[in-house]
Structure 1
């Protein structure tokens, strides 16, 4: 039956994730560690407040602790502050409504609208839910005496301290891998796009294939945005985090690489856009002659080789001489391509000149690789 295949497929996916979490460093392992820390924080909070102290509102401690093992220590601190404030406000709203109405149903009708409205305030994010849920718990269990309010807030505070402490002191999360993965992806995909364009141009391209190149370049622009987010994630993971001092790890590549790959992606988007305009029945630019397309193919393949070497340089010392040879081939092909401009009529020369200008900008960007003094 179909559901048997679905269960087998889901089981295989789960097993793969578990295996990766155990054997490989990656997102699955990070998620597993954070999940175990959250569970451990909740158990510790319950053991302290519920089992040892036998507090009347012991549920508040593990309930608070489990959600404060966030992806960064900074987020744990921020979420903890927001959560305690919202729990306090929800408790006070419920207690105030109960004292005014002396009826649980009427108190809920009075307290929940402002609590839900406050919880939906965008600055509180996911923590906003704590205002209305706390008010519901207070009214449902009629625990709105001064002593009950004090217990509730104190036990929430204990749970918050345990959750934040566990996250900060037990394998504190430091996010460095995302930056490297995004940089590697940009280098790999940029080189692959250049080779795809070169292969298609060599075999003859149309507007459909040119449009696919341009879409690929636009997707690379999305990867640049992902790199920006990863940088922000890394910077945030250092805030209030002893992990970068307690745990040894190699720092991410410098920010110069972000600007470098972003520049290459921008140049590829412009170049593929120009090629779109030279293809199809309703093209805006004249179709380049075969000689020019051959030189463009040679240039792009050499530039792709340079991109691959730059990508490898992030993990090991760069092979400068080999890269220099690739760039030399690219510049030589560009020089011959630019020399073709005067050999054609005005319309064709305009198209060839546009390609020459776009590829020249691409090569200058490649020459501006971080750690290089200049072209070559």
Structure 2
């Protein structure tokens, strides 16, 4: 059992590595942006080491490249915050190391005091993920006997140098922002939403004969999860524009605006799809009458759902291609809805399908408003 589990895990890792390598050449992909950041981290570390070792001639300049590579973050704003936190963490580590050596008669006792104190200091929330630098700095300074005045100055100089180099590289060399990644996610989300609408259309047209094993609400849940991740990515992209010299580019601003509008559209559509899914799931679970609609109503519903799927794809494509947004072909959708309503109201008796038909009609209205609103 364990052997197959490990093998399966290795296979997934290999597929993930191959997928990453395959996506690196794709412009705007997460893989490409990550690869660029890795390259920039290497450049920053080498440059910081060169300046510290060969220009300033600092002894054992291990902190400079360490701090420099830590500064290469996914956003410029994050790099600046990381730089400030890194400097504060190193200063704390230096102070703890100097104090421990001054109070304790031997290196072992100094380490016994410095490491716990530095570890506790590293949990200070304001240091965030740079807290590890506190015990790292304190431990190495005590262990290497570098707590005298000159060495303390060297460590602080290295830290400032590394932070400046890392932030400078991240700011000036292909400043990171993941706007294009968000746009790609929104397009995939639109395809997923349209695909689910077409599946729902097939369900309605078949009158429930082709019911899926999985509840429709569970499939809508997956769409909601995708949209939540895209929303988080959009917020990350917006944060990436803070202090970023590329934030003024028209293309960048238009892409962020288009992604926000696409996400808003898809979230409204997801709410309408959930209403439709609840009707279909209710009919399947005997909470409502069977999904047996009046003649022609199922066909009209399916046609409207397929038209809505096409409209979503067209509207999202128009948003990112900076074309005139037609509102998702609202005239055609409204006409299809009117046809559905006339078909549904041709019979006013109390047949069992009336309740299901009315609930489905309300959900269809909501879908059309979500797309055209």
TM-score, normalisation: structure 1: 0.86
CA distance in 1, matches of 2:369, 2:328: 18
Match of 1:264 in 2: 269
Are 1:136 and 2:139 counterparts? yes
Q: CA deviation at 1:78?
A: 0.4
> Is the 1:300–1:330 Cα contact (8 Å) retained in structure 2?
no
User: What is the Cα deviation at residue 357 of structure 1?
Assistant: 1.4
* Residue deviations 1:213-236 (CA, integer Å, cap 9, x gap): 211211111122122212211211
The correspondence for 1:183, drawn from 183, 186, 192, is: 186
In 1: Cα distance, 2:290 partner to 2:12 partner: 50
Q: In the alignment, is residue 275 of structure 1 matched against residue 280 of structure 2? A: yes
Note if contact 1:207-1:276 (Cα within 8 Å) is conserved in structure 2: no
1:60 is aligned to 2:47: no
2:288 pairs with one of 285, 289, 309:
285
Q: Retained in 2: the 8 A contact 1:302–1:329?
A: no
Matches within 5 A, 1:260-339: 260-280=265-285, 283-291=286-294, 292-316=297-321, 317-318=323-324, 320=326, 323-324=329-330, 326-336=332-342, 338-339=344-345
The CA RMSD measured in Å over matched residues stands at: 3.1
Distance 1:208 1:324, change over 3 A: closer
Alignment of 1:333-372 (within 5 A): 333-336=339-342, 338-339=344-345, 342-345=348-351, 348-368=353-373
Shift of 1:349: 2.6
**The one of 46, 65, 78 aligned to 1:43:** 46
Is residue 2:200 matched to residue 1:197? yes
Give me the TM-score of the superposition, normalised by structure 2.
Answer: 0.87
Q: Deviations over 1:111-170 (max 9, x none)?
A: 222322332344433212111111111111121112211110111110100000010011
Q: How big is the shift at 1:311?
A: 2.2
Q: Distance in 1 between matches of 2:222 and 2:26?
A: 31
Unaligned runs of 5+ in 2: none
CA distance in 1, matches of 2:359, 2:46: 66
- Contact preservation (8 Å) 1:38, 1:66: yes
User: 1:183·1:258 contact (CA, 8 Å) conserved in 2?
Assistant: yes
Q: Which moved more, 1:143-152 or 1:79-88?
A: 143-152
CA deviations on 1:262-304 (whole Å, 9 max, x unpaired) are 1111111122122211113xx2111232434333222211211
Q: Is the 8 A contact 2:85 2:128 kept in 1?
A: no
Q: Aligned partners of 1:289 and 1:184: how far apart in 2?
A: 35
- Pairwise CA distance, 1:15: 6.2
Q: CA deviation at 1:44?
A: 0.7
Rate the CA distance shift 1:200–1:119 in 2: closer, same or farther, 3 A: same
Shift of 1:71: 0.7
Query: SS in structure 1 opposite 2:145?
Result: coil
Whether 1:164 aligns to 2:170 is: no
**Cα deviation, residue 16, structure 1:** 5.9
For the structure 1 residues 121 and 199, does the alpha-carbon distance in structure 2 shift closer, same or farther, using more than 3 Å as the test?
Answer: farther
Say whether the 8 Å CA contact 1:176–1:251 is kept in structure 2.
Answer: no
Instruction: Tell whether 2:114 aligns with 1:111.
Output: yes
Q: Secondary structure at the match of 1:87?
A: helix
Q: Could you list the per-position Cα deviations for residues 33-66 of structure 1 after superposition, in whole angstroms to 9, with x for gaps in the alignment? A: 1111111111111111112222024111111101
Structure 1 residue runs of 5 or longer lacking an equivalent are: 369-376
CA distance 1:178–1:65, change in 2 (3 Å) = same
Equivalent residue pairs, number: 364
Residue 212 of structure 2 aligns to a residue whose secondary structure is: helix
Deviation per CA, 1:7-50, whole angstroms, max 9, x where unpaired?
A: 99977865664454246442222112111111111111111111
